[in-house]
Amino acid sequence: MKTAFTKWQGCGNDFILLEDMEARLAAPGKLSKRLCDRHFGIGGDGLILLLPSDRADIRMRIFNADGSEAEMCGNGIRCFARLAFERGLVPSAAFTVETGAGVLRPEVQRKGGRVTGVRVDMGRPVLEANQIPIAGFDTRRVEEEPLEVLDRTFSVTGVSMGNPHCVIFLEDLEEFPVAKYGPVLEKHEWFPRRTNVEFAVVRDRKHIRMRVWERGAAVTMACGTGACATLVAAALTGRTNRAAEVALDGGRLFIEWAESGRVYMTGPAEMTFAGEIEI
């Protein structure tokens, strides 16, 4: 069966999007692994499905390149939101999306009739270890806790944005071997559901540089929930203000941890091409 797809990127984090408003698609994890292959498929960091919802205006599911399902994806939800709006699948530019991390609220931003980006209310970060989850800390916060991995000891701060994150601040980042330490940290026994790993350098109180090892996708150009988790961790540890620009390998996101406790992410979402594929 031939199905139309679109390919999108948000700060270089790329996704295949399929509309499945009749919820007919079977075995999406297996399909994601095949379609995301960069040599034998379309290529991407993940597969995102647009689905009907009885809890929100629309539902989003995301599957990593390895076939595993993630609770949510920050760059992915911006791409999802723009496509849903432009396809007329939602009632307005601001709407609700059911995700594995709860109901989130994106808003497609426009100027002069042109889409300039997407702002997403990402909800409140979870800081209690047992809810992230991080094993061995009960309900305490994991804030700059030492963790020995291979030949180094890292100071780890744990945050969940609906999916788990391990944030590590460094003195130097550009030459840091993310691909060496990322996979070991992802599967460390501290993290029973594995974890995304963010390596970051604070440039000043309003600017952060971050690179990421994504759970189920390896090194990627960007991670939206990771940028949110990094800003929260930086603010918690007194390194930055509660709003900052986060520079990723593929672009920049503006993250704000409002006094209400909610985190807001603003950034780009661009379609790169469209086509049909046999599924």
With contact defined as beta carbons under 8 Å apart, do 141 and 120 qualify? no
CA-nearest of 83, 84, 120 to 102 is 120
| 36, 73, 166, 228: the active-site residue | 73
Q: What's the rounded Cα separation, in Å, for the pair 117 and 115?
A: 6
DSSP string, 11-49: TTEEEEEEE-TT-----HHHHHHHHT-TTTSS--SEEEE
What are the DSSP E strand ranges found in 20-140? Answer: 46-51, 58-64, 69-70, 97-99, 102-111, 114-121
Catalytic residue status for 223: yes
Name the active-site residue from 11, 36, 79, 223: 223
Query: Within a 10 A sphere around the Cβ of 230, how many other Cβ atoms?
Result: 32
Q: Using CA atoms, how far apart are residues 145 and 72, in angstroms rounded to an integer?
A: 26
| 114 CB-side CA count, 13 A | 4
**What is the rounded CA–CA span in Å between residue 49 and residue 30?**
13
**Active site annotation includes 36:** no
C-alpha to C-alpha distance for 239 and 2, rounded to whole angstroms: 51
Q: Catalytic positions, please?
A: 73, 223
